[in-house]
Amino acid sequence: METLRKLIHQIAEEGGLISATLSQRRNKSEEQAYTKVQIKPVELKGQLHYQLAYYFSNKVTHENILPALLEERLAELFETTFRQALLCTVDADYQVLISKKFKVSILTKAPSKTAGSLSHNRKKQYILEEGQAVPFLVELGIMNEDGKVFAKRFDKFRQINRFLEMIQDVAGDLPQDRPVTIVDFGCGKSYLTFALYHYLSVERRMRLNVVGLDLKADVIERCSVLANKLGYENLRFLVGDIADYDELSRVDMVVTLHACDTATDAALEKAVRWNASVILSVPCCQHELMGQVKSPVLDPLLSHGILKERFSALATDAIRAKLLDIMGYRTQLLEFIDMEHTPKNIMIRAVKGSSGDREGLWKEYVQFRQFLSALPYLENACRDLLPKAD
């Protein structure tokens, strides 16, 4: 840790820190703990401070400290809490990786950011910032060659950045010592597939093997042409169906965005059988439980079609999340983008790792499923991976 302490001291002494993101907790089993910390300089009452944003599962808290305390706070966070960080300064970017045995690796890269105004304001900071041309965003018609985001495409720009924030949170849970294999089921026009590849391969310098799969041959052809134009050598697009895809025997991350109805469950089953480290799923058209759910207690709700549809969709995603927990994942349900843009805005994010008492989770799940009179696709598909039914 001595090398890391010297780097922290240098940054604190010389200043020039533009931003820092600390992630990958040492103890991931701690409940109610923050999962990452972002740091940036701000000006408060005419004096330099550093603002620390602590990200919990359902909230963000802030703390402002004076520069004299920065070194001590960074050292404490590394030694007690986090194993990974990206420190961006005016002179260089430093990617920090700390092993379970506290072996430190520091990768130094050219600076990717420039210092801006320290005014304490509420301007949103994006991973891909406006004003810096990003080749895939230019090619997809989201920004011009000067990095200016077109007004009509700003919602898509925000969606891409929100998606990358969710990728950023789990990047440390992916293998660090070998190429990472990622499959995007139902990739469509692949805005987010290109974003994922750019962020992990170009920004974070990770070795990747990414496959985008979709049923529409014309869309796949256009995506393949663009990937070649951008020089994304390890990004391939294939025509195919989720249920039939069997090219790979090991996949580290599975992405499935807006796969319709039980196609989401088919993708989740494959992810679990691949023992994927990370699963990101934004379900769509959850019709399966709509025709199944019955409960006299819920008749005042279920007697209204629109309420039954919405309740069934929420219940479906709750069932998926609980089954993933039972099968060895830590699962969160997150807001993907603002509700004003689409009602289909819930992301299931699951990271491999024990989420608690498996038998207790199974009992809780069975009670919920029986209360709804439901027979979920995912439970049936993964029957051999689940506890025996009562």
Residues 63-96: tens digit of each pLDDT: 999 888 998 999 999 989 999 999 999 889 999 9
pLDDT surpassing 90 at residue 263: no
Which pLDDT does position 31 carry in this prediction?
Answer: 65
**For residue 261, what pLDDT is reported?**
74
Q: How far apart are CA 189 and CA 257, in angstroms?
A: 11
Does the pLDDT value for residue 342 go beyond 70?
no
Residue-level pLDDT at 371 = 95
**Per-residue pLDDT, 341:** 43
Q: Do residues 200 and 209 lie in contact, with contact meaning Cβ atoms separated by under 8 Å?
A: no
CA distance 52 to 155: 27
The model's pLDDT over 203-254, given as tens digits with 9 standing for 90+, comes to 999 999 999 999 999 999 999 999 999 999 999 999 988 878 888 999 999 9
Q: Give 144-165 pLDDT, tens digit per residue.
A: 999 999 988 888 998 899 999 9
Residue 193: CB partners within 8 Å, gap ≥ 6? 184, 187, 210, 212, 223, 235, 255
Confidence at residue 340, expressed as pLDDT on a 0 to 100 scale: 41
Domains of the chain, CATH where assigned: 2-109 (no CATH), 135-385 (3.40.50.150)
For residue 313, pLDDT beyond 60:
yes
pTM here is 0.69
Q: In this structure, are residues 257 and 324 in contact, taking their beta carbons and an 8 Å threshold?
A: no
Task: Please check the confidence at residue 338 and state whether its pLDDT lies above 80.
Answer: no
- DSSP H or E stretch at residue 316: helix 305-326
Task: Report in angstroms the alpha-carbon separations of 120 from 17, 39, 42.
Answer: 16, 13, 6
Query: Closest Cα to residue 97, out of 205, 249, 225?
Result: 205
pLDDT for 123 beyond 60: no
Beta strands (DSSP E) in 147-267 are: 180-185, 208-214, 235-239, 253-260
State pLDDT tens for residues 286-302. 788 888 999 999 999 99
Q: For residue 332, what are the contacts with CB-CB under 8 A and spacing of at least 6?
A: 57, 321, 348, 349, 350
